[in-house]
Structure 1
Amino acid sequence: MTQLRVAVDVGGTFTDVCIFDEDEKTMRVTKVPSTPHDPMIAVMNGVKRAEINLADVELFSHGTTVATNALITRNFPQAALVTTTGFRDVIEIRDGTKDDLWDAYRDVPGPYIRRRDRFEVTERTDYRGEVLTPVDEDEARKLAALLRKRGTKTIAVCFVNSFANAANEIRMREILEEEIPDATISTSAEILPEMFEYNRFNTAVANAVLAPLVSGYVNRLEKQLSDGGYQGDLLLLHSGGGSMTPRMVDRFPVRLAASGIAAGAISAQHIASQCGYANAVSLDMGGTSTDIAMVADGELRVTQEWEVEYGHPIIFPSIEVLTIGAGGGSLAHIDVAGSLRNGPQSAGADPGPACYDTGGDQPTNTDANVVLGRLGTSLAGGAKSLKRDLSVEAINRVIAEPLGLSLEEAAESILKVANANMADAVRLISIRRGYDPRDFALLAFGGAGALHGVDVARELNIPTVVVPPNPGVTSAMGCLLVDIQHDLSQMHTGALSNISTEKIEDVFRRLEGEARDRLRHEGVSESDTVLQRLISMRYAGQWRSLVVPVGSGPDFLDAAVEAFHERHEREFAFRNDEAPIEIYEVQVKAVGKVNKPSFVPATKQDTGPGEPVEVRPVYFDGEWVETPVYGRDNIPAGAQFEGPAIINQLDATTVVPPNTRAEIDEWLNIRIHLEGSAK
């Protein structure tokens, strides 16, 4: 029987399918238009188009935007928050900050649950975990009866100081389950057992409102795959760079809120390692947005706090990805001051760029690339035909004529603004963190990344651009490269000098026990279980903390302290070995190993790219240049050639501009070296 590994990544414009044949060690890909009203339709369309027999599939992995889109659109079921008396408005007061400090008229979006749906119950636990006032059961049952009468079946229970002792939250949940048996209930201590009630409450609320939507989608998809013959577990990629089974998604759906975004970063780390780059920046440019991540010293940067909307933090370890509104469908427009802008508004999949001829009449980056000859007249292997005359009309009408530019100048200006926006985003994630982009390679992928990669690299003086073998489905490939993963934590605050190694060891053992239980619940054997210990530390008096890995043995705290000093110096250019250190939190990362594809390098040949499919005029740096167009499948490993060149394939188009040199490496990546950049 053929053993296939299938990964599906749902994007804003296209849904990408990646199929790895374990017997042949080969990869094939396909793309289908996304179906925003029901992403599962696109997933199953992709399976059908790829002619996948689900009975032959050994592993099916999925990166989904269902949770992200739900938080953006706020298309939630009716939900309620039950909290301690006096804490009803915690998620509305927030931390008092604003996204734009200087815009007095711009308000932060309101909480996910309206005030009229937030209720108080008499109870109290102090900061040490001592129950001062048990749950008032009469109040609790009256509230449960009210919620039942209102038809509310999605509930978040968030009590103050429950991170120290969850007894009152657990009792409230029991009462709600007795009175409303079919309710979906999230408790803050289970979701995030950490102090700072605003962060904890908001994470639990996000988990609650997503539960019916995400669980419903995941369970429908799992059944559809099972009915088609798939016999394994459906694995869902989560924001931390691991995967979960549907059983854990039912408990922690909020972890899927950055599912698809993380996939591209994981692929970037894998490709950078294959190519021998310890430092790399990934540029994942799709139809709607661009996701940028950084691999430094071989590791992806991880953040402990992130958000889909400003002011609504989700406190789970997550791969740090910066997303901006720059994609193939980003709209070019002139603002009220008469300046050319690009995005963040997008034509998306519907109505799409003007050249799609599906109702869109505004110019996009895709239209500019078509006008300049960088894109041909079809996408996705002929699945989508492009009409250049519609792009010409849109750019002339909206940009060229109002600004007094020629058609070519207007199209080139559109791309220059888009590239500048992406370069600025790379600076945010690198220079502001103490990293020099010239020390990095740029990995350009996504449906549009290879079109813009070299121009963005030139803005940053990055010497090399790497385009993966299947850039348009690289994020989908990332779903094949992850393990099952859970992140557990427990508050353990105090001065390091006053905390014994034995107490911290006890906390680690308890968390590791829970971690093993979760992985066993997901069918992971003990031999495939890997546990990593981490400690969150800070200098005494600091507000924020840094997470460092720790080992075992009697001196593990000494090694952790040195690691903390080193990371603090890296992050903030400062260390103080004499300053007292506080421990803030103890964490365990639990990994269940999953078999991954074993890629085989190709034999390199000392040759050129072969005969072009065609030669067409392409606009570079103010002039039309006759440019060869190659089919990527026909270029062997080891081939070297000078720009300009256009390389077409099913899922993407790569632009190799003049004054660059390209080569195909043994992993079939295109490496483009820029003249005059840092070496």
Structure 2
Amino acid sequence: MGAQRVAVDVGGTFTDVFVVDEDTKDFFVSKVPSTPDDPMRAVMAGVDRAGIDLSSVSLFSHGTTVATNALITRRFPPAAMVTTTGFRDVLEIRDGTRDDLWDAYEDVTPPYIRRRDRFEVPERIGYDGQVVTPLDEDEARRVARLLRRRGATTVAVCFLNSYANPAHEERMREILLEEMPEASVSTSASILPEIFEFERFNTTVANAVLAPLVSGYVDRLADELADGGYEGDLLLLHSGGGSMTPRMVSQYPVRLAASGIAAGAIACRAIATQCGFENAIGLDMGGTSTDICVVHGGELRVTKEWQVEYGHPITFPSIEVLTIGAGGGSLAWIDPAGSLRNGPQSAGADPGPACYATGGTEATNTDANLALGRLGTTLAGGAKALEPERAERALTEHVAEPLDMSLEEAAGAVLKVANANMSDAVRLVSIRRGLDPRDFALVAFGGAGALHGAEVAKELSIPTVIVPPNPGVTSALGCLLVDIRHDLSTMFSHHADEIDHDELEEAFTALEAEATERLLHEGVTAENAVLQRSINMRYAGQWRSLAVEVGSGAEALEEAVARFHEQHEREFVFRRDDAPVELYQIGLSAVGRTPKPAFPPHERTGTADPEPASRRRAWFEETGWVEVPVHDRDALPVGTTFAGPAIVDQFDSTTVVPPGTRAEIDEWLNIRIHLDASSAPGHDSKEA
């Protein structure tokens, strides 16, 4: 093979590898079990299993769960926070909201840094950037020495109003590094120079606790790749849908939280667009969870505030993805009222579903699919053997007998509850926002997405399901479709009709200078750099704001204000053209374009209803037990059509085509499942 582009995505159960040959445009995939104790072992095992010669790799992109898992498990290095006197408890006071408005007894999980590790220093910057109380350097040095004695390895410096004047934070950082040269120090003015101290403080604290963990992992992996012959930069996908090099990751590790989730959303948009759909819903179902994203008008929705755990916001732009506890390993259980539930608890990779025979004894979605014949007896090309007897035993013991059901009814009920949970989640991101799922295609991927996609689409009346060529490694593909990207912002509070355009231009120019420096630092040439300005606007007196893209000059601002009114009406169903508009914040997206793989369409050579590779008995609610054709996906050329019920097996996933639907292989090698079989290609009216 010629030069290769490689992407590796680490999931909760499997680590996926996607390799593209730059010359032939051919691609192949590999899949190995994840190693939660040290994800790098699975990354290198995937590289080895795929037979990759790292010296021939031109680009290596990586989506990682290291940051997300660290925030979930809270296995942090010794960390501390230094803040303005009187603001030690901002992290616990929070913003007064609750995840469940009606549960007064539910406590939010504690801050990432305990109260006893948060220290105060006398200083005060006013809202306008003027020094109200000078920094007490003697007290600052005393705190720094105390932290050194306590063994802190990473520190978050969060002073009030530092976004308006970072001088005190910068001096505090200098003092800390003088006393603790090996420590990692994150200042809120450099991480997130924005108003609202809780969001700024929490984002900085998250960055601080992740810095040693993420930097250590990234540096070790980069060294390992270099030892194997890779000469380029390791690119790491971040939550905003771009990538970063290790040099920038060391400064902004918090951006890697939700890294792999963003990759799946990016791949979903690319696949849907290629198939001619501007509106698509992504259903990425893995071993532990399901990630749902929405592509509307060809664009992914981006949110400015998100969280791994409720009550701990991370205020960086992130692709909006809804994650629920519904995966292949999600446990079926019966609540105290006798109702069947599914997830969010999961068997995960260890001990895994009962059918894995690795210690799990409770029934999971994977066990239900196996018991109903929808899954074969091996996964990942034979790397994982499944034992149907163990699956049936778990379902009988934990579901069928307690609910007085047959085995088939119990397994069907488990899948039905899982599908209902996913359908409800899709409704949250579509119908709740005024979007009709019937106007969308469903892109089903992940190791288990193709097993459930058609049933979820039926529940929502979505007419078309798209299953990518390698659904189990689609998120890894997404890692190859992103550019280097940085998002910068600064406060700029003025009424739109009172703007000093020279002042606005000066503020944007300062952001552009910093962005250009970052891109140059990452080896991006000027011709590959793209800078896009935006302004966060709101009606005067409002709290929430909307980001609107803007050019340069007075006319550009007027056009942006007009777009703000339109966007506000679309988002909140009303507009006030006569109300004064306030500029709240300016932002800049700095993109460094990277080469991306291109996949040419294939010629149509397939036929209708080809002879299957094999047949096996499978159970569906509409038909009961029935013998269904099992197709080998690699043997299905473009243009092939066949009716459900049918099953398509492949290395990284299994696709279920249920009764009453019809499937086709399109020119991009996707399986398109049409739920209205009478209008699908290759339909024979006599069959209907």
TM-score normalised by length of structure 2: 0.98
Contact 1:462 1:678 in 2 (8 A): no
Say which SS state the counterpart of residue 480 (structure 2) adopts: helix
Taking only aligned residues, the RMSD between alpha carbons, in angstroms, comes to 1.2
| Counterpart position of 1:201 | 201
CA distance in 2, matches of 1:611, 1:534: 56
Contact 1:640 1:661 in 2 (8 A): yes
Shift of 1:153: 1.8
| Counterpart position of 2:289 | 289
CA distance in 2, matches of 1:644, 1:548: 47
Shift of 1:164: 0.3
Letter in 2 for 1:368: A
Say which SS state the counterpart of residue 294 (structure 2) adopts: strand
Letter in 1 for 2:561: V
Shift of 1:502: 2.3
Shift of 1:606: 4.8
CA distance in 1, matches of 2:579, 2:378: 62
Equivalent residue pairs, number: 679
| Counterpart position of 1:310 | 310
CA distance in 1, matches of 2:190, 2:585: 16
CA distance in 1, matches of 2:580, 2:257: 37
Say which SS state the counterpart of residue 658 (structure 1) adopts: coil
CA distance in 2, matches of 1:298, 1:562: 22
Shift of 1:104: 2.3
Say which SS state the counterpart of residue 561 (structure 2) adopts: helix
| Counterpart position of 1:470 | 470
Q: How does 1:67-466 map to 2 (within 5 A)?
A: 67-466=67-466
CA distance in 1, matches of 2:365, 2:75: 29
> Quick check: 1:662 aligned with 2:668?
no
Contact 2:369 2:375 in 1 (8 A): yes
Shift of 1:552: 2.8
Shift of 1:677: 11
CA distance in 2, matches of 1:608, 1:25: 28
> Quick check: 1:626 aligned with 2:627?
yes
What CA deviation, in whole Å up to 9, does each residue of 1:432-470 have, x standing for no partner? 111111100000000000000011001111000000000
What CA deviation, in whole Å up to 9, does each residue of 1:197-243 have, x standing for no partner? 00000000000000000000000000000000000000000000000
CA distance in 2, matches of 1:378, 1:500: 67
Contact 2:606 2:637 in 1 (8 A): no
| Counterpart position of 1:531 | 531
Contact 2:661 2:677 in 1 (8 A): no
CA distance in 1, matches of 2:406, 2:520: 64
| Counterpart position of 2:683 | none
Q: Which moved more, 1:60-69 or 1:608-617?
A: 608-617
Shift of 1:678: 11
CA distance in 2, matches of 1:36, 1:609: 43
Letter in 2 for 1:101: L
> Quick check: 1:62 aligned with 2:62?
yes
CA distance in 1, matches of 2:672, 2:294: 18
Say which SS state the counterpart of residue 314 (structure 1) adopts: coil
Contact 1:463 1:677 in 2 (8 A): no
Say which SS state the counterpart of residue 19 (structure 1) adopts: strand
CA distance in 1, matches of 2:335, 2:303: 34
What CA deviation, in whole Å up to 9, does each residue of 1:21-56 have, x standing for no partner? 111111100100000000000000000100101001
CA distance in 1, matches of 2:367, 2:609: 28
Shift of 1:138: 0.5
What CA deviation, in whole Å up to 9, does each residue of 1:152-187 have, x standing for no partner? 121000000000000000000011111111110000
Letter in 2 for 1:666: E
Shift of 1:644: 1.2
| Counterpart position of 1:479 | 479
Say which SS state the counterpart of residue 143 (structure 1) adopts: helix
What CA deviation, in whole Å up to 9, does each residue of 1:285-338 have, x standing for no partner? 000000000000000000000000000000000000000000000000001111
CA distance in 2, matches of 1:102, 1:133: 42
Say which SS state the counterpart of residue 91 (structure 2) adopts: helix
Say which SS state the counterpart of residue 209 (structure 1) adopts: helix
Say which SS state the counterpart of residue 132 (structure 1) adopts: strand
Contact 1:609 1:636 in 2 (8 A): no
Say which SS state the counterpart of residue 466 (structure 2) adopts: strand
Contact 2:15 2:31 in 1 (8 A): yes
| Counterpart position of 1:21 | 21
Shift of 1:486: 0.1
> Quick check: 1:11 aligned with 2:3?
no
Contact 1:462 1:677 in 2 (8 A): no
CA distance in 2, matches of 1:183, 1:402: 56
Rate the CA distance shift 1:135–1:70 in 2: closer, same or farther, 3 A: same
Contact 2:236 2:246 in 1 (8 A): yes
What CA deviation, in whole Å up to 9, does each residue of 1:107-137 have, x standing for no partner? 0001000000000001110000011222111
Contact 2:662 2:677 in 1 (8 A): no
Letter in 2 for 1:664: I
Shift of 1:676: 7.8
What CA deviation, in whole Å up to 9, does each residue of 1:455-510 have, x standing for no partner? 10011110000000000000000000000000000000122122222222211111
Say which SS state the counterpart of residue 316 (structure 2) adopts: coil
Contact 1:458 1:677 in 2 (8 A): no
Letter in 2 for 1:13: T
CA distance in 1, matches of 2:604, 2:262: 32
CA distance in 1, matches of 2:605, 2:575: 51
Q: Which moved more, 1:494-503 or 1:441-450?
A: 494-503
CA distance in 1, matches of 2:435, 2:288: 27
Shift of 1:539: 1.1
CA distance in 1, matches of 2:437, 2:131: 53
What CA deviation, in whole Å up to 9, does each residue of 1:603-630 have, x standing for no partner? 1125135321111111111511210000
Q: Which moved more, 1:492-501 or 1:630-639?
A: 492-501
Contact 2:609 2:643 in 1 (8 A): no
CA distance in 2, matches of 1:585, 1:398: 54
| Counterpart position of 2:643 | 642
Q: How does 1:30-69 map to 2 (within 5 A)?
A: 30-69=30-69
Say which SS state the counterpart of residue 362 (structure 2) adopts: coil
CA distance in 2, matches of 1:25, 1:428: 38
Say which SS state the counterpart of residue 488 (structure 1) adopts: strand
Letter in 2 for 1:194: E
What CA deviation, in whole Å up to 9, does each residue of 1:617-675 have, x standing for no partner? 11111511210000000000111111111000000000001111111111000111102
Contact 1:438 1:678 in 2 (8 A): no
CA distance in 2, matches of 1:76, 1:316: 21
Say which SS state the counterpart of residue 109 (structure 2) adopts: coil
Say which SS state the counterpart of residue 411 (structure 1) adopts: helix
| Counterpart position of 2:684 | none
TM-score normalised by length of structure 1: 0.99
What CA deviation, in whole Å up to 9, does each residue of 1:364-410 have, x standing for no partner? 00000001110010000111010000000000000000001100000
Rate the CA distance shift 1:545–1:132 in 2: closer, same or farther, 3 A: same
What CA deviation, in whole Å up to 9, does each residue of 1:227-266 have, x standing for no partner? 0000000000000000000000000000001101100000
CA distance in 1, matches of 2:509, 2:218: 32
